[in-house]
Structure 1
């Protein structure tokens, strides 16, 4: 019987993916956090394909390598593109991802995906060029890209470099769709164009970039919706006068004082930079240096006053193994409510994960390519077959941890057994058929095509209790419960309203004015 076009595409994709090189050849990376934990997307440096961790991974990403799986893209990513992504988890147990990259025309593209919980694969819902809106400065050919999710009304902010290397922003609002945002930093003297950003509450958006061979630059959102610009370890001359409203392209340093520390093994040309913000609003910045080691800088808050950035202690190689390359690429996922941070990079030819939680770093471990913690549940019937851990976790507050663990075991056992017993052609066709069955007639953001405004994110609570738990410790409650900030709940519901993916409501996040 002839296979559908979708099934034929899946089969040809698998053939191509079998020829992909090892993770040591991976390109740019992005990570984000939902109630299921971190997710990963990586560009293969050889093929340009965007490979990803199974979207029904729970607690820690499962990144398949034999073969890997890749996102379907309407606009092919250019090789070497910067990547950014965010995502959410809805009340019916579906994971969504919103991915940003440059295509071969140097446009910035946003592609939205919905997870098929039965297969762990993403289905594309919409893909749009977003840098073609009126008044938007053209992106640099090697622009960095970063995204933050602010809330229902304020939506996304996407940060990028224009052709002069100044830092710009795009914005998505639920009422207006995509549009040009505002200048962020007019500085055009940059040694590298990596970007990362983080949002922790009302007006608390920080964007960090390399500045030169000795310094980094930060841009922080002000009450008046401009960005305050500073550098460290050497501060800028002029103090609060350095903002995105100044229309300056050069910001001189204040050389009257000696910097209190130096950026170790820093030459201003990292392949990535990362920022995380914890429950105490401490800002943590990371990079991998010329010595292949992870380096950590933080600005702590005491009595509501933030001190300056300071270098933090290095960890031993059990915690932070050396990267395979100097200035290596890496990605970071963080969860504000539990003060959890995960770093991902390539060490020893494998993608590794190192965890920061409860104020301590855990020993690093390779990211698994398959679920190795399967426990058979002989009582599971056919009616449980399609329920992954993620689907069970979305049922509601009244579900006990024990029931969640039993459901996870049953789902993992069923998925593994089905993959072993189903021929490849039939499996590809079945996956395509299942995908078609779960996608509504019109995409969640509307099926208007590339020129339509992209809606993008989720709306209310995931139904999980406010006391979040880490996958490794969810069999015992956190004591005391994590303190919550006026910060986004990245795991939130995705109702089907007006065929648009809506953003987290004000119930869960204090919005910008």
Structure 2
């Protein structure tokens, strides 16, 4: 756990804005209790984060901010990427960044549910493995967490700007993976990635001043490379093609042009919904959010095409051209959250099941107002029953949660303690109601055996964040309706059930691959 003891007035939030850099200095991820994010403090270089017990909508402390404790100091302007999970007792975060030697570092953290801050469990340089091409000093970073057996894949650029993977598996620990795109002729170094099933990972990155490159893992274990809006020449360009410059098909003009695109955004993101539509986002030179999507119909996926722009009510203009942003998404509920700076404030744009809600200012939290005997009280923001129950398990003093009378009753029944009446928290608390009802979470199992505490106290293998148990393929939870279908893989992909091991990544559904 690491906090800054220097008190700052609320107007000092401007000092907490992320460092603007050639790649993203902000990252977000989704757990069963909702989204979390981290951004780099522009003046101190600290990696400040939202409270790790935030539910549905992140709460971001400003008085004082809270930061990840880092064994290896992050360099100013580092690219950031992170993933995390909820283990029925607390949340975990696995963070990736560059240190001052340009090494790639992985740090694993456990949430202290009483304080909302993270405690460092492990930290390790992972780019020093045998055969690993040295990272570019301004590399983009993106991570995909594939499951217990397959572990992590971390994507980065080498010094020549080719794209590579570092991988973690339970058997091999961290090791170099392989190149996924040997092309070195690229205009920008932003990276995004998402995993949606067995052998289905998509990586997205700028290609040049007119095109975006997508790289997708296929059943043949090759990474298949495409670009849009101008396609490549030939239908089978892969990481095995060993091309430093990708050949375009210029036989006809491209069907559209990328809006506000100069090939060098500070960030690019991808989200995938329940019907496996792939959505790509960036903030352009016009300070506006832009989105492109590829839709699946039957056994065929369309090419990427532009999606309608939203009004400023839904996508406010960013403060800078090509602005940094963070994206968190949940495949099981088709939920997407975008975080970026607009009007000098962090805002949250929220999408669920095909609709965008009006954007809202991210809730800031003043952590100095709480004592060891009193907790905060804020207006309810539409948390589901399961989410409230999950939050109530480990929360006592100092927990900045959105509490209702129903939660208080649950705590009385389960913990046999008393609680005070719920009161409104003021202007900041009121702002939580604008978009709080959107987040969809699944009921969390709270039944624990006597041995669970010792299991949760164990230290994971270096950088793993994953259980050593085999992948459970007998998930009893109901499948999605309609079941999601993914291209280019014949295997059934079973996500992990909600387990008692503290490192398992809980999820509720199968991801159905094509037969």
- The TM-score bracket by the shorter chain reads 0.7 to 0.9
Write the distance in 1 (CA, Å) between the matches of 2:316 and 2:177: 39
Residue from 439, 443, 465 that aligns with 1:456 = 465
Q: Deviations over 1:76-103 (max 9, x none)?
A: 0011110000000002x21000000000
> TM-score, normalised to structure 1's length?
0.78
Does residue 66 (structure 1) correspond to residue 63 (structure 2)? The answer is yes
Write the distance in 1 (CA, Å) between the matches of 2:47 and 2:200: 31
Write the distance in 2 (CA, Å) between the matches of 1:357 and 1:441: 33
Residue from 75, 82, 105 that aligns with 1:85 = 82
Q: Deviations over 1:472-491 (max 9, x none)?
A: xxxxxxxx967456667588
C-alpha RMSD over aligned residues: 3.6
Write the distance in 1 (CA, Å) between the matches of 2:13 and 2:357: 31
Q: Deviations over 1:180-229 (max 9, x none)?
A: 11110001011110000011112211000001110000100021211001
Does residue 202 (structure 1) correspond to residue 198 (structure 2)? The answer is yes
Write the distance in 1 (CA, Å) between the matches of 2:49 and 2:224: 35
Residue from 122, 126, 130 that aligns with 1:126 = 122
Q: Rate the CA distance shift 1:22–1:343 in 2: closer, same or farther, 3 A.
A: same
Residue from 9, 14, 33 that aligns with 2:5 = 14
* Equivalent residue number for residue 321 of structure 1: 316
Does residue 291 (structure 1) correspond to residue 283 (structure 2)? The answer is no
Is the 1:89–1:494 contact (alpha carbons within 8 Å) kept by the matching residues of 2? no
Is the 1:340–1:358 contact (alpha carbons within 8 Å) kept by the matching residues of 2? yes
* Equivalent residue number for residue 264 of structure 2: 269
Write the distance in 1 (CA, Å) between the matches of 2:459 and 2:248: 48
* Equivalent residue number for residue 42 of structure 2: 45
Once the two structures are TM-superposed, the CA of residue 454 in structure 1 deviates from its matched residue by: 2.3
Q: Deviations over 1:321-370 (max 9, x none)?
A: 00010100001000001111111100011110011112100000011013
Once the two structures are TM-superposed, the CA of residue 493 in structure 1 deviates from its matched residue by: 3.7
Write the distance in 2 (CA, Å) between the matches of 1:393 and 1:488: 27
Q: Rate the CA distance shift 1:212–1:153 in 2: closer, same or farther, 3 A.
A: same
Once the two structures are TM-superposed, the CA of residue 505 in structure 1 deviates from its matched residue by: 9.8
| Partner SS for 1:181 | strand
Q: Rate the CA distance shift 1:321–1:176 in 2: closer, same or farther, 3 A.
A: same
Q: Rate the CA distance shift 1:481–1:118 in 2: closer, same or farther, 3 A.
A: farther
Q: Deviations over 1:265-293 (max 9, x none)?
A: 10011000000000111000000001100
Is the 1:174–1:502 contact (alpha carbons within 8 Å) kept by the matching residues of 2? no
Residue from 29, 53, 70 that aligns with 1:32 = 29
Q: Which stretch shifts more, 486-495 or 176-185?
A: 486-495
* Equivalent residue number for residue 380 of structure 1: none
Does residue 360 (structure 1) correspond to residue 360 (structure 2)? The answer is no
Once the two structures are TM-superposed, the CA of residue 35 in structure 1 deviates from its matched residue by: 0.8
* Equivalent residue number for residue 233 of structure 1: 229
Q: Which runs of 5+ in 2 are unaligned?
A: 366-375, 381-386, 396-403, 424-452, 486-491
Write the distance in 1 (CA, Å) between the matches of 2:141 and 2:48: 18
Q: Rate the CA distance shift 1:307–1:402 in 2: closer, same or farther, 3 A.
A: farther
Does residue 258 (structure 1) correspond to residue 253 (structure 2)? The answer is yes
| Partner SS for 1:212 | coil
* Equivalent residue number for residue 3 of structure 1: none
Q: Rate the CA distance shift 1:313–1:342 in 2: closer, same or farther, 3 A.
A: same
Once the two structures are TM-superposed, the CA of residue 392 in structure 1 deviates from its matched residue by: 3.5
Write the distance in 2 (CA, Å) between the matches of 1:467 and 1:505: 11
| Partner SS for 1:15 | coil
Q: Which runs of 5+ in 1 are unaligned?
A: 1-5, 376-386, 396-400, 418-437, 447-452, 469-479
* Equivalent residue number for residue 433 of structure 2: none
Is the 2:455–2:501 contact (alpha carbons within 8 Å) kept by the matching residues of 1? no
Count, aligned residues: 442
Write the distance in 2 (CA, Å) between the matches of 1:165 and 1:260: 28
Is the 1:133–1:180 contact (alpha carbons within 8 Å) kept by the matching residues of 2? yes
> TM-score, normalised to structure 2's length?
0.78
Write the distance in 1 (CA, Å) between the matches of 2:26 and 2:301: 30
| Partner SS for 2:5 | helix
| Partner SS for 2:144 | strand
Write the distance in 2 (CA, Å) between the matches of 1:287 and 1:262: 14
Residue from 333, 337, 345 that aligns with 2:332 = 337
> Between Structure 1 and Structure 2, which shows a larger proportion of helix residues?
1
| Partner SS for 1:332 | strand
Is the 1:56–1:390 contact (alpha carbons within 8 Å) kept by the matching residues of 2? no
Write the distance in 1 (CA, Å) between the matches of 2:498 and 2:322: 35
Write the distance in 2 (CA, Å) between the matches of 1:265 and 1:304: 32
Once the two structures are TM-superposed, the CA of residue 391 in structure 1 deviates from its matched residue by: 4.0
* Equivalent residue number for residue 459 of structure 2: 444
Write the distance in 2 (CA, Å) between the matches of 1:506 and 1:341: 18
